[in-house]
Amino acid sequence: MLYLLMQLKRFASTFVSKISYLKKSFSSKPFRLLDIGAGNHSASKIKRVFPQCEYHGVDLERDYNNSEEDFKLMSGFYEMDLTKLDMSVIPDNYFDGIWMVHVIEHLHNGDEVIKKLLPKLVSGGYLYIEYPGIKSTKLPSMYGSLNFNDDATHVRVYSVAELTKLFKENNCVVLKGGIRRNIWFMLAMPFRIIVYLMKGKKLEGNLFWDLLGFAEYVWVRKN
């Protein structure tokens, strides 16, 4: 029974955009990943689906909802303030993928951060960025963030057009971009709401992200 639950959890995780775009990029091949924003047990979640991934994490604080088990799964961890633009400790031309999911909106100079990260990516490597888009500024406020301003640490709104221009100017091809609309999350939304209510939990804004178009994304390959 435990094995079955673990397999179901693994299967369900493949629908998360962070995971699904790793699958689109690398399929079942081994790859080296630099995960910008490595909290919330991200290493464990990714290694569960991609056991051959060489995982390296970056975060402002080491212990942002991570356990020692998470750190054991990491080949490297870089504790740094990205806004200072000093990434010399991260090796150049090493990573097959750089993932930056719901981080850039916390950076006032996220465009410059991206430029500093691109040399870390090998030629032919992939980059995936996800963030609250302009539409999020017009959504109602809700617990757990449905409006951009629900999170006081959000400092800048980015757009697909702005990031596409940046990547094209820095030797990259934008493979896909737009508003995140995960059909599986939208179909599962009523059931997730029921589970929240049955558990007596307060409904969170992220339950409605895909339906209401809270997030945008850009998926890129470096030439």
| Residue 139 per-residue DSSP state | S
Return phi, psi of residue 50, to 5°. -125, 75
pLDDT one-digit tens code per residue, 72-127: 999 999 999 999 999 999 999 999 999 999 999 999 999 999 999 999 999 999 99
Full residue range of the structural domain in which residue 208 is found: 2-222
- Shortest CA distance to 134 belongs to which of 56, 32, 194, 216? 216
CATH of the domain at 71: 3.40.50.150
The residue whose two tokens read 């997030």 is 215
Q: What is the pTM of this model?
A: 0.91
Number of domains in the chain: 1
Residues in the chain: 223
pLDDT one-digit tens code per residue, 31-41: 999 999 998 99
Whether the per-residue pLDDT at 5 is higher than 60: the answer is no
